Chains A and B, each alone.
Chain A
Amino acid sequence: MHPHTEDPYDAAAVSDETLIQQVRQRDAAALQCLYERHGSAVYALARYILRESAVAEELTQEIFLTVWNKADQYHEQQARFRTWLLSITRNRAIDHLRQRRRRIPSDLSLDDTAVAEEHAPITDAIDTQRELHLLLRHLPVEQRQVIELCYFEGYTHEEISTKLKVPLGTVKSRILLGLKKLRDMMND
C-alpha cells in the first residue's frame, strides 16, 4: 500500500479560479459553490440597480447561467472572478434599464408620476437603499447623484444634464470631483 497523504477536503480552500475550471468541465457542484460565495453580491448589485426584487432574481439566475454556459468567456489573467461577475451583472442590469426606458419614454421626465415607484429612476432624491452604498454615501448628494445616474443607470452626460436641468459642464465637474474624492478616500 502506498503512503496516504491526507487531503484537508476543505471546500472553502478551493479558489474561484479552480471552481471555474470545474464549471468548464460541467461540474454543477462547482457552480453551486460559486453561487453560494457570490450569489448575494450579484443579487445585491442587481437589486441596487434595478430596484425590483423579482427582476433582480431573474437577472441573478441569468448571470449564473451565463457562468455555467459561457465559463470560457472568463479569463483569469484579466480580472478576478468576482470582479468579472459583478461587471457583467452591472452591464446586464443597465441593458435592462435602458430597454425599460425605451418602453417607458416618459421615464426621463422628472414630473412624470405615472411611473411606478419601484421603476422610478433616481431623481433629485437618493432613495434610502442607495444611501447605504458603502462608498458613495461619503459624497455630497449632488456628486453621488450624477455618479449614480451615469454608472448605475447608464445615462449619458447629456441625458443627465437634461434630466437634472444643469449645464453639461456641471455634470462633468460633479462626476470628476466625486471620483477624485473617492479615489483619495481609497488611497488614504
Chain B
Amino acid sequence: MHTELQKEIPLLVLGGLPPAEQARLEEHLAICPSCRALLSQYQFLAEELNAQVPAQQPPAQLEANLMRRVSASVKPLPTAEAPRKPAFWRQPISLPRWALALAALLLLLLLGTIGAFAFQMQRADGVNAEQVAQLVTSPDRKFIPLASVSGGTKAPEGFICVLSGNSTALLWLYNLAPLDSDHAYQVWLRSGTMRDNGGVFRPGSDGKALVLINAPRPLDNYDEIGITVESAWGNPGPTTPRVIGGRLD
C-alpha cells in the first residue's frame, strides 16, 4: 500500500488528480514522514518550474501604470502648495482627544522640552493623541537628543521620546530645511545591518515637525535613528546623507 501510494506522491505537486485520489494520498501523507519528505522535494521542483521560465522584460509603461494605481490608493501628504492643515490643537476635536492632547502638551511644556514652540503634526496618517499622551506621561519614557551631521547654529536639532518595549515614539525636530513638494524627510531605524523605514513626514514652514513613529519593533531594539531627504513617497533605502540622527542604545 505504502509503495503504491508513494509512487503517486509526485503527482500531487502538479495537480490534476481526481479529488478522491488526491484525498487518499493526503490521508497517507498525514501519517507517513518519508512520503512527506518526498513530497517536499517535488514541491521544490514545482517551485523551480515557475522560476525557470526565461525572463522577459515587461513593457516600460507597466511600472508607471502600476505606480499610478498604487499612488491613487494612498492618502497624499500635505505639500507646500496645498492649503496648510491647522495646528492640531486648533482642529475641531472631541473632548477626550482634546483633553488628552492638552494634557500631553502641558506635560511636555512642564518638562521643558518644547518651550513655547508651536508645531504641527505632519504624519500622513495623523497623530494619535492617546498614543502621544501615553508616551509622554509614562514615568519610564526617555528623551534622547538628536544631533545634525552639519553642526552650526541653524542646523537641525531635536529629540526623540521613547518608551522601553514600545514600538511607538515621538520625534520632535526643528530647524529643518523646507522641502519642495517632490521631497519629504524619511525616518530610518537601524539595528545591526537591518534597517526599517520609520515613515515620511514634512516639516511646517517654520522648519518644525512633531512626528509619531510606529516602528515594526520596539524602539529599544534599534541602535540608531537617522533622517534623510527622500522622494515624497519615501524610498526603500536612504539615498541621501543623513540630516540628523542619534544613537538609541
Tell me the A residues contacting B by CB distance below 8 Å: 1-5, 7, 9-11, 13-14, 18-19, 21-22, 25-33, 35-36, 39-41, 43-45, 47-48, 53, 56-57, 60-61, 64-65, 68-69, 79, 82-83, 86-87, 89-90, 129, 132-136, 147, 150-152, 154-160, 172, 175-176, 179-180, 182-183, 186
- Chain B's nearest CB lies how many Å from the CB of A83? 5
| Bound Cα distance from A186 to B45, whole angstroms | 8
Q: Let me know if B54 is at the binding interface, CB within 8 A.
A: yes
Not counting A29-B234, A60-B58, A155-B16, a sample of 13 additional A-B residue pairs whose C-beta atoms are within 8 angstroms of each other reads: A4-B245, A5-B223, A22-B196, A22-B236, A25-B216, A41-B55, A45-B50, A47-B56, A61-B66, A151-B49, A152-B49, A157-B18, A159-B16
- Chain B's nearest CB lies how many Å from the CB of A45? 5
| Bound Cα distance from A87 to B13, whole angstroms | 12
CB neighbours of B56 from chain A (8 A): 40, 43-44, 47
Name the interface residues of B207-249: CB closer than 8 Å to any CB of A.
214, 216, 223-224, 226, 228, 230-231, 233-240, 242, 245-247
Known: A41-B51, A43-B58, A86-B51. A14 touches B237 (CB 8 A): yes
Q: Let me know if B197 is at the binding interface, CB within 8 A.
A: yes
CB neighbours of A30 from chain B (8 A): 197, 234, 236
In contact, B11 and A172 (Cβ under 8 angstroms) = yes
In contact, A13 and B58 (Cβ under 8 angstroms) = no
In the complex, 17 of the A-B residue pairs with CB atoms within 8 angstroms, ordered by the A residue number, are A5-B224, A29-B234, A33-B236, A39-B62, A40-B57, A41-B51, A53-B59, A57-B58, A60-B66, A61-B66, A68-B73, A147-B49, A155-B16, A160-B16, A176-B10, A179-B13, A179-B45
CB neighbours of A5 from chain B (8 A): 190, 223-224
In contact, A132 and B54 (Cβ under 8 angstroms) = yes
Q: Let me know if B149 is at the binding interface, CB within 8 A.
A: yes
Total interface residues on B, CB under 8 Å, equals: 70
CB neighbours of B34 from chain A (8 A): none
CB neighbours of B216 from chain A (8 A): 21, 25
- Chain B's nearest CB lies how many Å from the CB of A168? 10
In contact, A48 and B15 (Cβ under 8 angstroms) = no
CB neighbours of A175 from chain B (8 A): 10-11, 14
CB neighbours of B17 from chain A (8 A): 156-157
In contact, A29 and B231 (Cβ under 8 angstroms) = yes
Tell me the B residues contacting A by CB distance below 8 Å: 7-8, 10-11, 13-18, 41-42, 45-59, 62-63, 65-67, 69-71, 73-74, 146-149, 151, 188, 190, 193-197, 199, 214, 216, 223-224, 226, 228, 230-231, 233-240, 242, 245-247
- Chain A's nearest CB lies how many Å from the CB of B197? 5
| Bound Cα distance from A90 to B49, whole angstroms | 10
In contact, B58 and A18 (Cβ under 8 angstroms) = no
CB neighbours of A36 from chain B (8 A): 63
- Chain A's nearest CB lies how many Å from the CB of B225? 10
Complex: chain B residue closest to A56, CB-CB: B58
In contact, A29 and B236 (Cβ under 8 angstroms) = yes
- Chain A's nearest CB lies how many Å from the CB of B67? 6
In contact, A9 and B238 (Cβ under 8 angstroms) = yes
In contact, A2 and B147 (Cβ under 8 angstroms) = yes
In contact, A18 and B54 (Cβ under 8 angstroms) = no
In contact, B63 and A32 (Cβ under 8 angstroms) = yes
CB neighbours of B48 from chain A (8 A): 135, 186
In contact, B237 and A151 (Cβ under 8 angstroms) = no
| Bound Cα distance from A2 to B246, whole angstroms | 6
Known: A30-B197, A150-B16. A176 touches B7 (CB 8 A): yes
CB neighbours of A176 from chain B (8 A): 7-8, 10-11
Per CB-CB distance, the 7 closest pairs between chain A and chain B, nearest first, are A43-B58, A134-B52, A86-B50, A11-B237, A44-B56, A33-B236, A9-B238
